[in-house]
Structure 1
């Protein structure tokens, strides 16, 4: 076998320890030499935020978090950071919290210490995203890659199980979409495969027993590997569709990914046999798309885009908005009609066989 590829591995420190979030966060801040910290957190993370603020030089806190990071919120947070002359950002929460911290880092250059409380994976990427009006814009910049990630499986225990599952399926989407993304290569395919190998049993264990910390650790580990693969491979067809739906129609991020993934897989899999075989082997099924849809149902994630608020009348326009963002390298050519078909099947929750 002959390999030819150009792979970039992003530099980042990862501190992984259940029950050690506060200690590891303080150690990370001290290593950075930070003296004026902006603490960004959501409502699920108040206790941890308070514990860190008692031990680290926090000068300002932001807890107004909106999904998809509206530009207006990013500008307000940046103004707060600039006025306080912050030299580091500690972000505690899900993907929306990390996204807001990235927006500030993009403008100020302040390093981020990310403490995820979900399985979103944004903490492992140099991808930023913001929404203005009905359009979500994403980009890649080394300034937004967190310098340190602090993982603590206990932090996700307070999440509603439905949200935890949707977040985990979002992580699955990072790995799967990375199999055919623009910069897919053997290294990130290997990372994505290993990520799925941890995610599938981890998510099933989490559903069987929400208090199973071993399952949460496995899911968190898999989510990190999947995100690293995604950061290297780039955004594929699945993410371009979901970013369009989230930005234009304010659909919940994780749930949108959980619903759409099987339908994108059904579209691409016949033209990406290696990706299909990896998914099939790990799930123990003969059909990758049907297997992912069955997993979604088994885990109790939403079944359709209609169920999370998309109107049928919006489908055609959403397809038109998404088309310019579709990577030319997608294994199968994509038209507006194709996108409309994918979205309509996901809107109905059409069974995949």
Structure 2
């Protein structure tokens, strides 16, 4: 047995009502001048603004998908002008990604309060989009110092967004199982995260106010973010970054459309990972035949995005997108050439149930 297991430093506060302790977390770190980053339409952002009003030195609300570099530059400028000593990010992956852009440049600590299941809050991974290309990297300065998970903040998520964001989390877990950096602990964490999401997502979609279901999904999403942050990304994430950066497709629905086929294309090259995914779904009490099919069946049950065509991705762009994916040189169990990337994109466009292996 050979592995390297590196655990980035991050404090997690989890539970119903935990958001109310945000001020105490700032005090614990000796921080007195936070800049709030949240979308202008975010009710959770407004609540956190009211909670921190005596301390806040500003509110950056120009949040955009995939963090365009011009938005990032304005966010960094806002932090400098306000003389902030920290960044409080409230929202989904776009808000947290914007906060990471600030931290990448300024090294200010981030306190994250996620309101979706995106998982970015648990990773040292940043992403910026420039000239229709999304670039990602790792930097310990962008890993939030504190992450507060309060399931009450996800109750207002519409079923469609709950489903898509949950599939996003499942993609982190499934792909983490075949990442080169996967360790025994990461594999156990991924198994538990898949189990929790497979149990909780159907309930949270059917009954959005079910706080127990929301807690189960939030728990799975935390494990998903942790898995992504400690392992790595393969063909699935590189495809989704291409779809977002070049074609401006929404992030979570793209994950939903692609992940069953990314697993199928890797099935022969990563049999242990596929067996682990299957075991997690069976532990959730689900009747499955193979890993890719299990994800497809859950996706259909919860009404998550079924295909890239449904998101407006034109089939005539498959070859161009495949070329971009290959140029990014993803680390993946099956070597990623044009045919491999094209197979995943083509299958994702149609959305049909995959066989266990995608040639």
Q: Which TM-score applies when normalising by structure 2?
A: 0.94
Q: Is the 8 A contact 1:236 1:326 kept in 2?
A: no
Q: 254-263 or 194-203, which moves further after superposition?
A: 194-203
Q: What does 1:243-262 align with in structure 2 at a 5 Å threshold?
A: 243-262=241-260
Q: What does 1:78-97 align with in structure 2 at a 5 Å threshold?
A: 78-97=76-95
Q: What does 1:163-174 align with in structure 2 at a 5 Å threshold?
A: 163-174=161-172
Cα displacement (A) at 1:82? 0.7
Cα displacement (A) at 1:159? 1.4
Aligned equivalent of 1:32: 29
> How big is the alpha-carbon RMSD for the aligned residues of Structure 1 and Structure 2?
1.2
Q: Structure 1 CA distance, aligned partners of 2:279 and 2:180?
A: 24
Aligned equivalent of 1:51: 50
Q: 117-126 or 178-187, which moves further after superposition?
A: 178-187
Aligned equivalent of 2:346: 344
Aligned equivalent of 2:285: none
Secondary structure of the 1:128 match is strand
1:301 aligns with 2:323: no
Gaps of 5+ in 1: none
Residue of 263, 267, 270 corresponding to 2:265: 267
Aligned equivalent of 2:230: 232
Gaps of 5+ in 2: 283-287
Q: Which runs of 4+ in 1 moved over 3 A?
A: none
Q: What does 1:116-195 align with in structure 2 at a 5 Å threshold?
A: 116-195=114-193
Q: Structure 2 CA distance, aligned partners of 1:239 and 1:225?
A: 17
Q: Structure 2 CA distance, aligned partners of 1:327 and 1:63?
A: 33
Q: Is the 8 A contact 1:182 1:235 kept in 2?
A: no
Aligned equivalent of 2:313: 310
**How many residues of Structure 1 are paired with residues of Structure 2 in the alignment?**
348
Q: Is the 8 A contact 1:320 1:336 kept in 2?
A: yes
Q: Structure 2 CA distance, aligned partners of 1:346 and 1:326?
A: 20
Secondary structure of the 1:64 match is coil
Q: Is the 8 A contact 1:172 1:226 kept in 2?
A: yes
Aligned equivalent of 1:288: 291
Q: Is the 8 A contact 2:193 2:221 kept in 1?
A: yes
Q: Is the 8 A contact 2:126 2:142 kept in 1?
A: yes
Secondary structure of the 1:271 match is coil
Secondary structure of the 1:72 match is helix
Q: Which structure carries more helix by proportion?
A: 1
* Deviations, residues 7-39 of structure 1 (Å, cap 9, x unaligned): 101111111121231x22111111111121100
Q: Structure 2 CA distance, aligned partners of 1:20 and 1:155?
A: 10
Residue of 10, 13, 19 corresponding to 1:15: 13
Q: Is the 8 A contact 2:159 2:206 kept in 1?
A: no
Q: Structure 2 CA distance, aligned partners of 1:164 and 1:208?
A: 10
Q: What does 1:98-117 align with in structure 2 at a 5 Å threshold?
A: 98-117=96-115
Q: Structure 2 CA distance, aligned partners of 1:25 and 1:74?
A: 24
